[in-house]
Structure 1
Amino acid sequence: MSLHHILKDLQSHSDSKKGKQYKTFFRESYTDNKDRFLGVALPLQREIAKRHPELSYQDFQKLLNSDIHEYRMLAGILLVNRYRGNEFEREKVFEFYVKNMKKFNNWDLVDVTCDKIIGNFLLNKKKKRKFLYELVKSKNLWEKRISIVSTFEFIRNNEFGDTLKLSEKLLNDKHDLIHKAVGWMLREVGKRDEKVLLDFLKTNYNKLPRTTLRYSIERFPEEKRKEMLQGIFK
C-alpha cells in the first residue's frame, strides 16, 4: 500500500462539520502553524492505520510535514504500531520520533504517542532517562509535555520517582496544558499508591497550580477534595 492509498482512505472519511469543531477544540494558539482539520475521529484513524501498516519512514516524514492535523496524528499512530516490532525497529522509531518531536505540536498528538514510544524505550534504560530531564527544561511547550506524559509508561510499571521529580520541576510552569498534564500523571500515581500522591501534594501544596491539584485529586470523594483544596491532607 502506498502513501497515496492511505491518504485517499483518510480523505474519504472527512467531515467538514467535525473539522470546524476540531479547529475550535484544538486551539490554534497552541501551535506554531495553522492546522487544517479533516474531521476524522481518532478511533477511525486507528482503523485506517491498521489497514496500511507498511508505509516507509519517508512516508511518515511527509505526513508529519503536513499542516493537516489528522496526517500528523496518523503518522503518530503508525509509529506507535511500528514500534511494536523488534529491538532494532524500536530504536529506529524512537530516534525518528525524537528527531521530529516538534511536529507533535498539540496535546492529542503528544498524548497518543509519547509514553508508548519514548516512555517504553526508556523503561529499561534508566541511565538514558536524563533525556527527559533535558526536555523538561525546554522552552517548547510540547517537549515539556512529552517529558512528563512519557512517564506514564513508568507509572504503569509502578515506578513513580521520575514522575514526581519531573512534576516538581514543572510546578512553576505557567501553561495550563502543563498544569493539566502534571495533574493527570499525579492522579495516575495515586491510583496505584495513594500515599505517594498525598505525600507529594502535602509537601508541595504551596507551589501547586490549582489546576494541577484539582486534576490530581479528581478520584477522591467530594468532601475530601474540598479539604485537600484547602491544604488539609489526612
Structure 2
Amino acid sequence: MNYNTKKLTKLNDREFAEDIKNYIKSSHNFYEIKIPELKVLAKRLHEEYKIKDFYKVFNRLWKKCHEGERALAIRTLQLYKKEFNIETWKFLKNKLKDMKSCDQIDFVSERIVGEILLNEKELEKELEKISRSDNFWLKRIAIVSTIPMIKTGDFRIAIRLLERHINSEKNQIQEATGRIINEIGKKNKNLAKKIILKHVHMPNTTFEFATENLKELRKLRKIKKLKNNKSFWKW
C-alpha cells in the first residue's frame, strides 16, 4: 500500500485490518527504530485523525488483542501529547490492566500518563490510588509516570511513591524505584544521595539502578554492610 496516495480515513474495516497486518507482525519489538513501518503508520494515523476520532481507531486496534496492533495504538496516541487532558486518562485508564510487558508499561507511563500528569494535577490522586493496587504493573505505571514531572524539577509525588515502594520485593518495582532515584539525581544529585543514604539497605536491584550515576555510594554501602556484619559477630 502507498500511504502517500491513499488516506487511511478512506479505508473500510477490511482494508484497514489487512494493511495493519501487512505492517505489523507480533514477533517484532515495536519500540526499536528497526521497525520504521510502525512509526510511519503512527504518523499517518496522527495526521488523518483528530484525537477524539482516534480514540475510536485506538479501540479497534486494542480489541484485536495482538501485540502489533496495540503497539501501533500506543505509538500513535503519544503523538497527540499536546492535546492530552483528563479525558485522555479516563479513556486509557481501563486499558492499563491489559498491559503486561515492561517496554509497553514504561512507554505508556512516561510518554502518555506522565505527560497528562504535567497539566492535570488531579491525576496525582489517581496515581496514588493505583500505586496501592495489588497489581504490580499498575504500581509500576504510577511510579514511572512521575518521570516527566521529575524532569521539570518537581519531585513531590515521585518521593511519596518512592517512600511507599522502595523496599518492594517485586523486581519490576525495584527497577522502577531505582530508575526514579536515578532520574532525580540528574536534576538534583544531593537529593538523590540523601534518598539513597536514608534507604541504603534497599534491595540490590533498586540500589544498582539508583546509583548508576552515583557509583561512589556503592563503596559506602559495602562498608556499611561490612560494619553490620562485624557488629553481628561481635554480639
Structure-1-length-normalised TM-score: 0.77
Q: Over residues 131-169 of structure 1, what are the superposed CA-to-partner deviations in whole Å (9 max), with x where a residue is unaligned? A: 111011011122111100110011111111211110121
The 1:95–1:50 alpha-carbon spacing in structure 2 relative to 1, beyond 3 Å, is same
Q: Over residues 11-60 of structure 1, what are the superposed CA-to-partner deviations in whole Å (9 max), with x where a residue is unaligned? A: 33456xxxxxxxxxxxxxxxxxxxxx232542322232012222632321
The 1:6–1:228 alpha-carbon spacing in structure 2 relative to 1, beyond 3 Å, is farther
Aligned to 1:209: 203
CA drift at 1:227: 1.1
CA drift at 1:62: 2.5
Structure 1 distance, partners of 2:15, 2:145, is 32
Structure 2 distance, partners of 1:200, 1:214, is 14
8 A contact 2:81–2:115 mirrored in 1? no
Structure 1: tracts of 5 or more residues without a match = 16-36
Residues 1:182 and 2:177 aligned together: yes
8 A contact 2:184–2:192 mirrored in 1? yes
Runs of 4+, deviation exceeding 6 Å: none
CA drift at 1:95: 1.4
Structure 1 distance, partners of 2:15, 2:179, is 37
Structure 1 distance, partners of 2:126, 2:113, is 10
Supply the RMSD in Å over aligned alpha carbons. Answer: 2.3
Structure 2 distance, partners of 1:231, 1:100, is 46
8 A contact 1:202–1:231 mirrored in 2? no
Alignment length (residue pairs):
205
Residues 1:12 and 2:12 aligned together: no
8 A contact 1:149–1:181 mirrored in 2? yes
Which stretch of structure 1 is more off in the superposition, 44-53 or 156-165?
44-53
Aligned to 1:227: 219
Aligned to 1:26: none
Aligned to 2:63: 65
Residues 1:119 and 2:111 aligned together: no
8 A contact 2:109–2:141 mirrored in 1? yes
Structure 2 distance, partners of 1:6, 1:40, is 22
Structure 2: tracts of 5 or more residues without a match = 1-7, 225-235
| Structure 1 letter corresponding to 2:180 | M
Tell which structure's C-alpha radius of gyration is larger.
2
Aligned to 2:76: 78
Residues 1:172 and 2:167 aligned together: yes
| Structure 2 letter corresponding to 1:57 | Y
CA drift at 1:200: 0.4
| Structure 2 letter corresponding to 1:63 | L
8 A contact 1:136–1:147 mirrored in 2? yes
CA drift at 1:107: 1.3
